């Protein structure tokens, strides 16, 4: 099967084409690596993936959106190194997703007034956020480079930069969240400026031995956000910069969250496990108007494939497919369309041995039932 043939992401060769996507684990207690995080990613490596991706690590404290999320800093490098060494011992490569949440946080989590591309009220948190000043934007560009240096020191083979889903880089890209009147706002060229500065610095720090992946939106998922043609221009800019591969996703967590994941959100479960101290406002909102805040979006296997094929046709660079990968047959179909690899999350939450079972013939499809209870419990282990 093509699934189990090697592939390359920049200078990094993977033993097969299945990558554990950067789905949030909520296992970085106190914003530091834990034994649970170690155990999970080690299990996924033993389970046969080509590469596993440690989820969403903030490049500085202001970029934290959860207490169980990694914050890249010098003191956590030894524990991260212990984890990457163990993953490598099982034949898998390991990547880390780096990003900044922008306005999707709260002072209680990030330690300051939340920041974003523009000032305004974010209903997701809910909180007021202020616009980043130019010197702060340039400082953030340096923070991304420093985070790459720390990732190398910690033994990661690749970094994945999160440019989608309504996080900070996406907030600069999208006209929905970027209302600036300086050189970072207005035209698409201006809205891409922060991304270009940051990705140029990431590539410089990654050098010749680390893979650099960018996760981007193919559309934001609602009127007034980024649409396909603008997202294609973003992808072409990243191709020009020399990014090694793109992960093609869609959706906006604060505006169209189920566009990212598809299906229905189990709202009672989500509300039940929320910490009342920090999330009482969201819990109350879900109880009053949950279905309006988080409407369902129909699920089907490989739900982003038609969109992704548009990008495949327009670009020459390696593209990684993500979105609803649960069966061997559909994985082979996706790879036959010219995608270099595919990312899987929920099937590897359901069973960390999923890839080994596909390879041995024990399974042809994941037993994941697409209930999204794993997402409904994102505020708890």
The model's confidence at residue 141, banded by pLDDT at 50, 70 and 90, is very high
Mean pLDDT score across all residues of the chain: 93
pLDDT score of 230: 98
Of 60-64, 292-296, 367-371, give the range with the top mean pLDDT: 60-64
Tokens of 324: 């609803």
**According to the model, what pLDDT value does residue 318 have?**
98
Q: Is the pLDDT reported for residue 277 higher than 60?
A: no
What Cα–Cα distance (Å) separates residue 15 from each residue in 11, 49, 154, 247, 360? 13, 8, 21, 19, 16
pLDDT in tens, 182-231: 999 999 999 999 999 999 999 999 999 999 999 999 999 999 999 999 99
Confidence band (pLDDT; 50, 70, 90) for 275? low
Tell me the average pLDDT across 38-54: 98
pLDDT band at 371 (very low <50, low <70, confident <90, very high): confident
* Other Cβ atoms closer than 10 A to 54: 28
* pLDDT at residue 286 in the model: 67
Predicted confidence (pLDDT) at residue 278 exceeds the cutoff of 60: no
**282 falls in which pLDDT band (50, 70, 90)?**
low
Using CB atoms within 10 A of its CB, is residue 20 exposed (0-12), middle (13-18) or buried (19+)?
buried
Catalytic sites, residue numbers: 167
């Amino acid at each position: 099967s093509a699934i189990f043939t090697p592939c390359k992401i920049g200078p990094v060769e993977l033993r097969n084409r299945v990558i554990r996507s950067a789905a949030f684990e909520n296992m970085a207690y106190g914003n530091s690596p834990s034994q649970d995080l170690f155990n999970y990613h080690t299990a996924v490596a033993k389970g046969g993936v080509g590469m596993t991706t440690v989820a969403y690590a903030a490049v500085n404290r202001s970029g934290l959106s959860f207490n169980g999320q990694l914050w890249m800093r010098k003191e956590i490098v030894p524990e991260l190194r212990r984890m990457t060494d163990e993953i490598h011992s099982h034949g898998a490569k390991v990547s880390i997703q780096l990003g900044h949440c922008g306005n999707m946080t709260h002072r209680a989590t990030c330690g300051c007034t939340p920041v974003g591309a523009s000032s305004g009220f974010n209903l997701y948190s809910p909180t007021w956020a202020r616009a980043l000043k130019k010197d702060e934007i340039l400082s953030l560009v340096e923070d991304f480079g420093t985070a790459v240096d720390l990732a190398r020191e910690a033994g990661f083979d690749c970094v994945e930069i999160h440019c989608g889903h309504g996080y900070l880089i996406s907030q600069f890209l999208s006209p929905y969240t970027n209302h600036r009147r300086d050189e970072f706002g207005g035209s698409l060229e201006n809205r891409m400026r922060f991304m270009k500065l940051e990705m140029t610095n990431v590539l410089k720090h990654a050098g010749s031995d680390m893979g650099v992946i960018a996760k981007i939106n193919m559309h934001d998922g609602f009127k007034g956000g980024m649409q396909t043609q603008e997202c294609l221009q973003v992808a072409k800019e990243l191709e020009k910069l020399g990014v090694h591969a793109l992960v093609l996703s869609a959706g906006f967590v604060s505006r169209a969250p189920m566009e990212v994941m598809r299906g229905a959100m189990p709202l009672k479960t989500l509300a039940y496990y929320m910490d009342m101290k920090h999330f009482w406002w969201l819990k109350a909102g879900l109880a009053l108007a949950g279905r309006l805040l988080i409407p369902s979006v129909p699920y089907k296997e490989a739900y982003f494939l038609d969109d992704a094929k548009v990008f495949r046709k327009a670009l020459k660079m390696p593209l990684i497919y993500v979105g609803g990968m649960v069966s061997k047959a559909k994985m082979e179909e996706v790879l036959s369309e010219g995608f270099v690899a595919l990312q899987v999350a929920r099937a590897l939450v359901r069973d960390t041995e999923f890839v080994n079972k596909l390879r041995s013939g024990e399974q042809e499809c994941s037993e994941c039932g697409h209930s999204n209870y794993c997402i409904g419990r994102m505020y708890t282990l």
